[in-house]
Amino acid sequence: MEEYAKRVHDPYFQPQMATTTASGDSSTNRVWVPGPVIVGAGPSGLAVAACLKNKGVHVLILEQANCIASLWQLKTYDRLCLHLPKQFCQLPLMPFPKDFPTYPTKQQFLSYLESYAKQFELNPVFNTTVVRAEYDRGCGLWRVKTKVTEYVCRWVIVATGENAEEVVPKIEGMNEFIGPILHTSSYKSGDCFEHKKVLVVGCGNSGMEVCLDLCNFNACPSLVVRDSLHVLPQEMLGRSTFGLSMCLLKWFPIRLVDLFLLLASHFMIGDTSKLGLSRPKLGPLELKNVSGKTPVLDVGTLAKIRSGDIKVYPGVKKLACNNVEFVDGRIEKFDAIILATGYRSNVTNWLKDTNLFSEKDGFPKKAFPEGWKGESGLYAIGFTKRGLLGTSIDAARIAEDIARQWNIEMNHFKSLNHPTTT
Ligand SMILES: Cc1cc2nc3c(=O)[nH]c(=O)nc-3n(C[C@H](O)[C@H](O)[C@H](O)COP(=O)(O)OP(=O)(O)OC[C@H]3O[C@@H](n4cnc5c(N)ncnc54)[C@H](O)[C@@H]3O)c2cc1C
């Protein structure tokens, strides 16, 4: 073990280390990884890998999909643009190109991520799902298992994201509904819904935007709004609402900033409760802090609701044939249902740890800014409910922490391998 541990931290051994050695289980290869194993090659995995490589730490990225940023490549709709201005979404060490618009399109964001991976020579191992990761107290190392390989390492960085699995609610009569029922992760555009009556269940940013997209393709969308929510204009006083909020929070208490946002919103978009979108008691920023619930930034959907192009309904009670019965007793016919019901973390499925992550929801137990570091070399990135800005903050902290340990050990092993003769 001592010999292995020496090699684990010796970059000169890396080529040999990357070759597999037989383990007790003949069907499993065991690979010693000198640096951290990063699980997930989304923006978070790439960001922390770049920061680590920039500090001279070797990384191995394991990704279940066949590409980087699989959420953005495979599970998002065509018209998607970043919801927040680009300066709040860029990854560490590489800004967006100057000629990108304030809200880059999905394609632009993806091309930026491709360049990012290229620039830092990040080469994830694709089609590799981590099915189990567990700390082995006996040898003081992590065992990260895929179907065919066990990677053994000192550090594990969980970068599997807040959106790893689709949340699909169980609705009575779902099997009887004759039209298609799909999650937004499979929705690309309203192209195939022309003149169809489509019910969109869920009114976060995705649900609202899918409704708008359906309108643009001459479909007849309706929106199910079950809970209260904050809708804010995407921009205020010529600045992004998000940027303005960040700026005001530096000077004023959160409740005062919330009051300002609500007054400005009322002035710009009117009383949303008249459209069936009632506001929660807590202000938008306070609610985000307390519950993680993100306010919806309106990109034109409200105007379509106001004009009657999008109808608003309360919760769904049950489905039958092509009928949808709502909780207020109304029954309407629909051709298709799109579930904009969000995502959940998948960490509890594969990570055997109860210290950093909660078994309840697969998120770190401690809220931001804590929650990025666990015990025995375990780290989490991208679970702050603060989008890509949270990712950048996590990436810098994790890289700093691991690089410090890496350098101490590297110096130690160098002195063992090449002792100074006196
Ligand atoms: C529609 C939409 C729009 C958004 N817009 C914005 C925005 O404008 N600004 C912003 O800041 N945030 C936005 N977000 C938030 C979003 O979470 C981030 O943009 C970003 O994708 C998060 O990156 P991530 O790497 O943490 O997670 P992900 O992008 O989800 O990447 C996680 C990766 O881990 C892989 N993975 C999962 N499980 C395993 C496993 N067991 N083994 C191996 N690999 C695994 C997945 O395949 C995936 O590639 C948006 C989210 C959505 C859904």
What ligand 1 atom has the least distance to the C-alpha of 391?
Answer: 26
Pocket test for ligand 1, best of 116, 385, 388 (most atoms within 8 A of CB): 388
Q: How far is the CA of 404 from the centre of ligand 1 (A)?
A: 28
Pocket test for ligand 1, best of 160, 208, 381, 393 (most atoms within 8 A of CB): 160
Q: How far is the CA of 160 from the centre of ligand 1 (A)?
A: 7
- In tens digits, the chain (422 residues) has pLDDT values of 444 444 544 444 443 444 444 444 556 799 999 999 999 999 999 999 999 999 999 999 999 999 999 999 999 999 999 999 999 999 999 999 999 999 999 999 999 999 999 999 999 999 999 999 999 999 999 999 999 999 999 999 999 999 999 999 999 999 999 999 999 999 999 999 999 999 999 999 999 999 999 999 999 999 999 999 999 999 998 999 999 999 999 999 999 999 999 999 999 999 999 999 999 999 999 999 888 899 999 999 999 999 999 999 999 999 999 999 999 999 999 999 999 999 999 999 999 988 999 999 999 999 888 999 999 999 999 999 999 999 999 999 999 999 999 998 888 877 877 665 44
Task: Provide residues with CB under 6 Å of ligand 1.
Answer: 39-45, 62-65, 69-71, 76, 80, 82-84, 89, 129-130, 159-164, 206, 346, 350, 382, 387-388, 391
Fold of 167-339: FAD/NAD(P)-binding domain (3.50.50)
Picking from 25, 21, 29, the residue whose alpha carbon sits closest to that of residue 150 is 29
How far, in whole angstroms, is CA 259 from its chain's centroid?
A: 29
CATH 2.60.120.380 matches 2-164+345-417: no
Pocket test for ligand 1, best of 78, 163, 210 (most atoms within 8 A of CB): 163
Q: How many CB atoms lie within 10 A of CB 385?
A: 16
**Which structure tokens are listed for 253?**
């208490």
What ligand 1 atom has the least distance to the C-alpha of 43?
Answer: 25
Q: How far is the CA of 399 from the centre of ligand 1 (A)?
A: 20
User: Which three-class secondary structure state does DSSP give residue 236?
Assistant: strand
Q: How far is the CA of 42 from the centre of ligand 1 (A)?
A: 6
Q: How many CB atoms lie within 10 A of CB 173?
A: 15
CA distances 74 to 23, 63, 66, 82, 163, Å, are: 36, 14, 10, 16, 13
- The predicted pLDDT at position 25 comes to 52
Nearest CA to ligand 1 atom 37: 160
Q: How far is the CA of 255 from the centre of ligand 1 (A)?
A: 30
Q: How far is the CA of 46 from the centre of ligand 1 (A)?
A: 11
Question: What secondary structure letter does DSSP report for 159?
Answer: -
- The predicted pLDDT at position 421 comes to 46
**Which structure tokens are listed for 312?**
């608003």
Q: Are 30 and 21 in contact (CB under 8 A)?
A: yes
- The predicted pLDDT at position 417 comes to 72
What ligand 1 atom has the least distance to the C-alpha of 382?
Answer: 26
Cα–Cα dist 406/403, whole Å:
5
Cα–Cα dist 36/129, whole Å:
16
Dihedral, CA of residue 59, residue 62, residue 66 and residue 70, to nearest 10:
-90
Q: How far is the CA of 161 from the centre of ligand 1 (A)?
A: 5
- The predicted pLDDT at position 420 comes to 55
Q: Are 102 and 240 in contact (CB under 8 A)?
A: yes
Picking from 54, 59, 50, the residue whose alpha carbon sits closest to that of residue 11 is 59
Q: Give residues with Cβ within 8 angstroms of 359, minimum separation 6.
A: 348
Question: Taking the domains of the chain in order of start, what are their residue ranges?
Answer: 2-164+345-417, 167-339
**Which structure tokens are listed for 302?**
């409200």
Identity of the amino acid at 261: L
What ligand 1 atom has the least distance to the C-alpha of 383?
Answer: 26
- The predicted pLDDT at position 414 comes to 77
- The predicted pLDDT at position 303 comes to 96
What ligand 1 atom has the least distance to the C-alpha of 88?
Answer: 11
Q: How far is the CA of 337 from the centre of ligand 1 (A)?
A: 24
Picking from 165, 146, 143, 164, the residue whose alpha carbon sits closest to that of residue 154 is 143
Residue 348: CA count within 13 A, CB half-sphere = 13
Nearest CA to ligand 1 atom 15: 387
Pocket test for ligand 1, best of 60, 67, 71, 108 (most atoms within 8 A of CB): 71
Query: What sign does the dihedral 168-173-174-175 (CA atoms) show?
Result: positive
Q: Are 181 and 174 in contact (CB under 8 A)?
A: yes
Angle at alpha carbon of residue 163, lines to 107 and 31, rounded to 5°: 95
Cα–Cα dist 384/367, whole Å:
7
